[in-house]
Amino acid sequence: MGRVLFPQNVADAMKGGWLFLLCVLMLLLLVTSTAAIGAETAEQAQAIPVPNPSADLWREVRQRDGIVVGKTQVAGVDSGALINPYGETWRNFRMQQLIPYSGYLLVGMLLLLLLFFAIRGKVKVNAGMSDKKLFRYSLYERMIHWFIASVFLFLALTGLILLFGRSLLIPWVGQELFSLLASASKEGHNLFGPVFVVALLLIFIRFVRRNIYQRGDLTWLLKGGGIIGKGHVPSNFFNMGEKSMFWLLVLLGIVIIGSGLILVFPLFGQTRVTMELAHLSHAITTLLMILVIMGHIYIGSVGMEGALDGMTTGYCDLNWAREHHAQWAERCEQEGQVVSEAEVSRLRGESSGGHIPPAGAQESGQ
């Protein structure tokens, strides 16, 4: 039954297409939550109509009517403002909306993937795995992929500890251990942040050309990436979903990096308001990126047969390529780039010991 509901290339589509749905969902959430904050502050404002001699003073101090910069001998950013009223707004948003809702989203995503896996199972290569391979990712491409992957995982882990630590970890490990963990996470997160900038730059430069949208991509989109309708939707080296994921990650990445740099180097005259905004956009965009990457990891590991090979060995199965990247596979076959499994294992040095395969096999590389 499940197979009827979820056609073959749903999985392909998952690499990117459905992520749009999620993004839309996220945006909706954002809008509603900000609206909620707005309503709240409005109520509070109406709740203090009683005149009080000190009220005016405190109103000035708290700057309810907007920030008024006073005069001070202290030289420094924001030193003219006694109290930044937005700090409380930011704090409330972080505690009451950001943390719980992002928690629900992450858990929801996990459940969704589990549910999907339960219904659809592992997407098999229909024709079965062949004994022929296509060269898909060079050593350098694989290196920078796993480089950004490891840096990302570390940043995500430390970032999540900082975000959820208070509510999830303190009850579990106690305050003392958490303070230590939080300090470690913060230092690690700050140090690896710039490393991520380098990694994303390397990824962008290397993969951008193959991710430029082409004419075929429109067909892919119109056919819903294979979610709606039957049969395979042929795609090039990357399909529309993958390309969309690439651009989403690049755009999110830019926001993440920008906001992250504002946060980690508070020495360019950023005001508190800037820092608060940077923090919020950092949190929301990273959360989105984590969600996208969860799907990416799912499809690359347990979700689809043969999807991981290209990124580990550099070679993907010919049948897998035919089913998921038909245009690319066809072109490779026409150009005679099909390699036998024996040749791949020779090039990877997987034959035993020092034994050299018969000379015939050595010539097959030609």
Partner 1 sequence: MEHDFAKGVEELGRQIDSRIASYFSSCVHCGLCAEACLFYTETGDPRYTPIYKLEPMRRLWKEQHTFWGKFAVKLGLSKPLTEQDFADWEELVYDSCTMCGRCSMVCPVGNDIAYMIRKEREGFSTAGYSPVGMQEATHRALTIGSPMGVTLKTLKAALAHVEKDTGLKIPMDQQGADYMTLFSSMEIVNFPEYIESVARIFDAAGVSWTISSEAFEATNSGIQIGSHEAAGELVSRVVNAAESLGVKFVISPECGHAYSAIRWEGPNLIGRPYKFEIIHILELLDQLQKDGRLQLSGHTDTPLTFHDPCQIVRRGGVVGPPRDLLGKVASGFVEMADHGTMNWCCGGGGGVSANERAEELRLKVFDRKRKQLEELGVKTMVTACANCRIVLEEGIEDREMDVEVIGLTELVAEYLTTKSAQ
Partner 2 sequence: MIGQLIDGPLWYFSLAVFCLGVLFRFFTILRAGLKPDLAIPRAGGAAGALRNLFTRFVPRRDVATRGRLTLVAGYLFHLGLFALLFFARPHVDFYAERITGFDWPALPYWAFIISAEIAFIGLLLLWLHRLLHPVTRLLSTADDHIGTGLVFLVMLTGCLALAQSFEPLRLLHLFLAELLLIYFPFSSLMHTFTFVFSRGYTGAIMGRKGVNA
Chain contacts with partner 1 (rule: CB under 8 A): 346-349, 351-356, 359, 362-363, 365
Q: Closest distance between partner 1 and the C-beta of residue 202, in Å? A: 21
How far apart are alpha carbons 273 and 280 in whole angstroms?
A: 11
Enumerate binding residues for partner 2 (CB under 8 A).
139-140, 142-143, 146-147, 150-151, 179-180, 183-188, 191-192, 194-195, 198, 312, 314, 347-349
Tokens 């969600």 sit at which residue?
Answer: 291
Residue 338, phi then psi, degrees to nearest 5: -75, 135
Residue with tokens 């990357």: 238
Smallest gap from Cβ 349 to partner 1, in A, equals 4
Find the shortest distance in angstroms from Cβ 147 to partner 2.
6
Tokens of 356: 């050299």
Partner whose footprint covers residue 355, from partner 2, partner 1, none (CB < 5 to 8 Å by kind): partner 1
Structure tokens at 309: 């090979």
Given the complex with partner 1, which of 43 and 363 has the nearer CB atom?
363
DSSP 8-state class, residue 355: P
Smallest gap from Cβ 347 to partner 1, in A, equals 5
Token pair 């060269």 in the structure block, residue:
135
Q: Report in angstroms how near the CB of residue 64 gets to partner 2 at its nearest.
A: 36
Using the minimum distance from each CB to partner 1, give the nearer residue, 326 or 338: 338
Q: How far apart are CA 358 and CA 241, in angstroms?
A: 44
Binding partner of residue 186 among partner 1, partner 2, none, CB cut-off 5 to 8 Å per kind? partner 2
Nearer to partner 1, 54 or 352 (CB): 352
- Considering CB distances under 5 to 8 angstroms, the limit depending on partner class, which of partner 2, partner 1, none binds residue 142? partner 2
Q: Considering just the CA atoms, what is the radius of gyration of the chain in Å?
A: 26
Which partner in partner 1, partner 2, none is near 151 (CB below 5 to 8 A by kind)?
partner 2
Residue 29 or 361 with smaller CB distance to partner 2: 361
Compute the Cα dihedral for 137, 139, 143, 146 and give only its sign.
positive
Euclidean distance between CA atoms 12 and 130, whole angstroms:
20
Considering beta carbons, is residue 102 or 185 the nearer one to partner 2? 185
**Nearer of residues 179 and 362 to partner 1, judged by Cβ:** 362
188 binds, among partner 2, partner 1, none (CB under 5 to 8 A by kind): partner 2
Q: Which does 23 bind (CB under 5 to 8 A by kind): partner 1, partner 2, none?
A: none
Give the Cα separation of 167 and 333 in Å (integer): 55
For residues 65 and 187, which CB has a smaller minimum distance to partner 2 in the complex? 187
For partner 2, give the closer residue by CB, 225 or 253: 253
Could you tell me the smallest distance in angstroms from the CB atom of residue 357 to partner 1?
9
Outline where DSSP puts E strands in 246-296: none
User: Computed from CA positions of residues 63, 68, 72, 75, in that sequence, does the dihedral angle turn out positive or negative?
Assistant: positive
- The token pair that represents 56 in the structure block: 């005016």
CA–CA gap between residue 295 and residue 242 (Å, rounded): 11
**Minimum CB distance to partner 2, residue 164 (Å):** 18
DSSP label at 304?
B
DSSP assignment of 4-23: HHS-TTHHHHHTTHHHHHHH
At closest approach, how far in Å is the CB of 1 from partner 2? 41
Distance CA 242, CA 247 (A): 9
The token pair at 331 is 């072109």
Shortest Å, Cβ 305 to partner 1: 27
Taking the least distance from each CB to partner 1, the nearer of 336 and 349 is 349
Q: Which of the choices partner 1, partner 2, none does residue 363 contact, using the CB cut-off of 5 to 8 A by kind? A: partner 1
The strand ranges marked E within the chain are 132-135, 315-317, 339-340
What does 247-258 look like in DSSP terms, one character per residue? Answer: HHHHHHHHHHHH
CA separation for the pair 283, 290 (Å, rounded): 10
User: Pick from partner 2, partner 1, none: which does 187 bind, CB < 5 to 8 A by kind?
Assistant: partner 2
- Judged by beta carbon distances under 5 to 8 A according to partner kind, the member of partner 2, partner 1, none in contact with residue 191 is partner 2
